[in-house]
Structure 1
Amino acid sequence: MRLIPSLLALAAIAGAAGWWLTAPTRAPAAALADLTGDATNGELVFWATGCASCHMAPGAKGEAQLVLAGGQAFPTAFGTFHAPNISPSAEGIGGWTTEEFVTAVTKGVSPGGQHYYPAFPYAAFANMTLQDVVDLKAFIDTLPQDATPDKPHDVGFPFNIRRSLGGWKLLFLREGWVVNADLTEIEQRGRYIAEAMAHCGECHSPRNALGGIERSRWLAGTPNPAGEGSIPNITPAKLTWSEDEIVEYLTTGFTPEYDSVGGHMAHVVENMARLPESDRASVAAYLKKVPPAE
């Protein structure tokens, strides 16, 4: 009979340890104290990170893409996620402090202390500089307000247990670069854009059964989670375009074979085309340094 109290004690200790390990973490307030947002740079960060592509209303065109009302649906193997309203309104992120915004973007934690689902690519944004994230908020604060309420995610048990996402982060949230080769300054800039801001790996890399990115097969392509076709391998094993051809594609959406970009990638090209050409060239240079993967 003495075994039962011992087992209960061990279970209690394990439960407390698990609760502590899965606790949400916040951005370092001290590191943000001296940072001031620059909306001009924030606009470039906004396009590089593709905020409008996910957070504009479904079907929005032109200037309406700057109204970050949310509502787009993103089906996955774990359920369907709906992009929230991130306009600077009361229904969006209008009342958020800089610390709350940086915590959301880099830690995947809401102002209320809940873990966000990794459909929000904070695993990539974790590698962004704090200054760029602060600048991003400064630009979003200049955009139109919208009162559209958020749509709830359609996620079933056990994935609807938010605390379990703390365990997911322990397993798969890895700060630091995937490509650690000896890179030039231009290639490093391309890595920063591709791995952090533009979060290319979030779509172009395969994932394991728990949704963690297989970093050993970085950018090797994967089935489309929406169920239509696949997302291509963009490592040098399959992407044989020259750097100039990659830059042309990221500028105009036309491939060397005179095909045109489609699907969600069309938004990515629109975003990339708004960046300086030097940034598109840096991404092309980086892609040539990615280890080939079949």
Structure 2
Amino acid sequence: MLLQRIIRALALAFIAVAGQPAIADEAQVARGAYLVRAGGCMACHTVPKGGQPFAGGRGMATPFGTFYTPNITPDPDTGIGKWSDADFLRALREGVSPAGEHYFPVFPYTSYTGMTRADALAIKAYLFSLAPVAAPRKAHEVAFPFSWRALQAGWKQMFFRPGEFRPRPGQGEQVNRGAYLVRALGHCGECHTPRSPLGGALIGLNLAGTADGPDGEKVPNITPDRDTGIGTWSAEDIAEVLASGTMPDFDNVQGSMAEVVDDGTSHLTDEDRLAIATYLLSLPPVRHGNPVSN
């Protein structure tokens, strides 16, 4: 504990020298640490098996090429140490870098746009409390024309709808909390929704699974369809999967979902896991793909 406090103090001193405001609200940092878990940031921004946490460099294979995640530690040269609050909010809400470049939608800003300002800044506060790691960004391996960032402006016109999540009247607090976690923070639809040839999410098949997920993984249908989704699962079954990775048939989740559980959902509160489950079971069932247990 003492060593962690010393490292954090040095990191804050470094940030102050770099011209960034010091972090004064311990509660905000703690809240940000929780939200980082809910947002799945560690798994994507850390190279498996020995990579520095949040230092980026993890490759993600897609039909358009392989994208590498960036360093999101507060290193001023290779990370986000020079980012202002406005820079951070613009990245999450608009998919635009501090330099004004469009991010590729492999970065789930299309979901993060729904995040509240308070939650986004709490995540930034936590990330800026970490020790900086010098880790230059790896170049994406993406062929022309998909490598042109300028083309992302057109992609956004077709597929991106910015805006903060708004609770739906009449849904109840638990369902709305689950909707926020699934649709904004947890960005579940980014993996669990099939996409068009141009990479846009097929809204009519939201959360209905795809055979062509990240890194070529088969991603299951998590709508409450009884034949191809999770319609035979109870809310408690879903919450248990999020807590331990154990499915109702006593098999365990594999691949990237195992990382989601280990690095993310297993650290959430029981209340938030149950909220996610309740929201998923409130959705219209969509018949698509193969059963989750396959």
Q: Shorter-normalised TM-score: what interval?
A: 0.7 to 0.9
| CA distance in structure 2 between the partners assigned to 1:184 and 1:107 by the alignment | 29
| CA distance in structure 2 between the partners assigned to 1:252 and 1:68 by the alignment | 23
Check the 8 A contact 1:75/1:225 in 2, yes or no.
Answer: no
Name the TM-score, length of structure 1 as normaliser: 0.82
| CA distance in structure 2 between the partners assigned to 1:192 and 1:201 by the alignment | 12
Name stretches of at least 5 consecutive residues in structure 2 with no aligned partner.
1-24, 288-294
Name stretches of at least 5 consecutive residues in structure 1 with no aligned partner.
1-35
**CA displacement 1:242-290 (0-9 Å, x = unmatched):** 0011111111111111101211101211211111110000000000111
Equivalent position of 1:12 in the other structure: none
Structure 1 residue 180, shift from structure 2 partner: 6.0
Check the 8 A contact 1:81/1:153 in 2, yes or no.
Answer: yes
1:285 paired residue among 267, 278, 284 = 278
Counterpart of 1:131 in structure 2: which amino acid? A
Equivalent position of 2:8 in the other structure: none
| CA distance in structure 2 between the partners assigned to 1:104 and 1:51 by the alignment | 14
The number of residues matched between the two structures is 255
How is 1:1-150 mapped onto 2 (pairs within 5 angstroms)?
38-60=28-50, 64=52, 67-90=53-76, 91-150=78-137
Counterpart of 2:176 in structure 1: which amino acid? Q
Check the 8 A contact 1:68/1:87 in 2, yes or no.
Answer: yes
2:233 paired residue among 235, 241, 246 = 241
Equivalent position of 1:221 in the other structure: 209
3-state DSSP class of the match of 2:61?
Answer: strand
Structure 1 residue 68, shift from structure 2 partner: 1.1
Q: Please, what is the CA RMSD of the aligned residues?
A: 1.9
Equivalent position of 1:202 in the other structure: 190
1:267 paired residue among 259, 262, 267 = 259
Q: Residues 168 and 146 from structure 1, CA distance in 2 versus in 1: closer, same or farther, beyond 3 angstroms?
A: same
Counterpart of 2:45 in structure 1: which amino acid? H
Deviates more, 1:176-185 or 1:130-139: 176-185
Check the 8 A contact 1:178/1:215 in 2, yes or no.
Answer: no
Structure 1 residue 58, shift from structure 2 partner: 2.9
Q: Residues 180 and 236 from structure 1, CA distance in 2 versus in 1: closer, same or farther, beyond 3 angstroms?
A: farther
Identity %: 41
3-state DSSP class of the match of 1:231?
Answer: coil
